[in-house]
Amino acid sequence: MTLDRIWLPYCQMQTAPPPRVASRTEGVRIYLDDGRHLIDGTASWWTACHGYNHPHIRWAIIRQLECMPHVMLGGLVHEQVITLTERLTRLLPGELNRVFYSESGSVSVEIAMKMALQYWINQGVSGRTRFLSFRDAYHGDTFAAMSVCDPEDGMHRLFRGALADQVIVDLPRTADQVRTLERTLDRHAGQLAAVIAEPLVQAAAGMKFHPPEVLAQVAEAARRHDLLLILDEIATGFCRTGTLFACEQAGVTPDIVTLSKALTGGSMPLAATVATEDVYRAFLSDSPQHALMHGPTYCGNPLGCAAANASLDLFESEPRLAQVANIESQLKNELADCAKLPGVADVRVKGAIGVVELQGRPKVSRLREQFVEEGVWVRPFGNVVYLMPALVIESEDLSALTHAVCRVVRRAA
């Protein structure tokens, strides 16, 4: 097999070491072709929330594969998408009851932004073509999603001249930042279609946390200025932060929410953009031009929907929130020693997310190699070493991860 012909994501191919070859997965373990296994501390980019190869999800996919692997959602529906839509709208807060499906988180954000723009266009309101987002944000790698990511320190800063010009401010953690947000909204409200934010955790831009009160302030400011609120729950949804959806902790219901990652338990690509009835009504008209002209080829595909329904079965039947509470407690206890190490700027935990922030910029590739040597799969980025394991992880395996983090950070310090 020619490994050097595979163009890997987020990777400088000239200097990166060859990737490991995974041969199988089970529970919280990744088995390599050289006979070793690694305890996964990232749940495959935060997707495998129930662990790998969960039999309930696997059999749901097999059953669906045998009867209908795919059918277009244009003019047709199927049992799995009907069931999933009813379940999602029952679980989400408020009147989030109109579900549009796609295959990836970035695309679900693109769809949310497109919905927000057309919401105003369909009502005859012109000029609302921009979005307000926040520094340290990450919303995806496609072009509209890139435009609402952090333009200075984010991974997409090279594209600044090619991206739509959005309004980007600090999250209002202080009184001065609240005043800045209000002044910015006063100045730009007539140009804005929506405010977009990650609730409680800005994930891929540095695992930065904010309290529910900050999210509530953002939501209230958007309401006062007659703006739609889009919440990106792709990383935070499905129990990761200690509630089914992170926005619940702030008592906030957005106008549009995006979901993906843990939606299928890490087994199949699927995403959802869910809007309120008020947003949906703006698209109802005798004019075909008022319809949402969007339709990914695998929109609402039966295999993905079957996996998502099986994943929701597990959230309903197994004690995921209690497991998250136990993980949070253990992460706080076992990562605490890292805070005493030289070179450590901060240690923070939220739900099933544990973060050790380092001072300066460590050599990430070396840290990653050391974690493999420790028998764990941990993928630091920037100056952050983080854990977001499967929600079903046993305490001994979680200890293996936290102790590996402490040892590697100690050596780095």
How do residues 243-298 score in pLDDT, each as one tens digit?
Answer: 999 999 999 999 999 999 999 999 999 999 999 999 999 999 999 999 999 999 99
Q: Where are the domains of the chain?
A: 3-54+319-412, 57-317
Catalytic (active site) residue 119 = no
Fold category of 57-317 in CATH: Aspartate Aminotransferase; domain 2 (3.40.640)
Longest dimension (CA), the chain: 66
Backbone angles phi, psi at 256, to 5 degrees: -145, 135
Give the residue carrying structure tokens 């295959």: 103
Catalytic (active site) residue 350 = no
Say which of 136, 232, 255, 397 is annotated catalytic. Answer: 232
Q: How far apart are the first and last CA of the chain?
A: 38
The predicted pLDDT at position 1 comes to 57
The predicted pLDDT at position 3 comes to 78
Say which of 10, 33, 278, 363 is annotated catalytic. Answer: 10
Say which of 138, 150, 350, 386 is annotated catalytic. Answer: 138
| DSSP H/E element including 26 | strand 22-26
Catalytic (active site) residue 332 = no
How do residues 98-152 score in pLDDT, each as one tens digit?
Answer: 999 999 999 999 999 999 999 999 999 999 999 999 999 999 999 999 999 998 8
The predicted pLDDT at position 161 comes to 86
Q: How many helices (H) and strands (E) does the chain have?
A: 12, 16
Q: How far apart are the C-alpha atoms of 79 and 68, rounded to whole Å? A: 11
What pTM was computed for the model? 0.97
Q: Is 248 helix (H, G, I), strand (E, B) or coil?
A: helix
What's the CATH number of domain 3-54+319-412, 3.60.21.10, 3.40.640.10, 3.40.710.10, 3.90.1150.10? 3.90.1150.10
Catalytic (active site) residue 386 = no
For every residue of 261-326, DSSP letters joined together read: GGGGTTSS--EEEEEEHHHHHTT-SS-GGGS-----TTTT-HHHHHHHHHHHHHHHHS-HHHHHHH
Q: How far apart are the C-alpha atoms of 297 and 302, rounded to whole Å? A: 12
Say which of 136, 261, 298, 350 is annotated catalytic. Answer: 261
Where are the strands (E) in 49-186, listed by range? 96-102, 130-134, 167-169
Low-confidence ranges of the chain (pLDDT < 70): 1
Q: How far apart are the C-alpha atoms of 52 and 28, rounded to whole Å? A: 6
Query: Bridge-partner residues for 276, per DSSP?
Result: 96
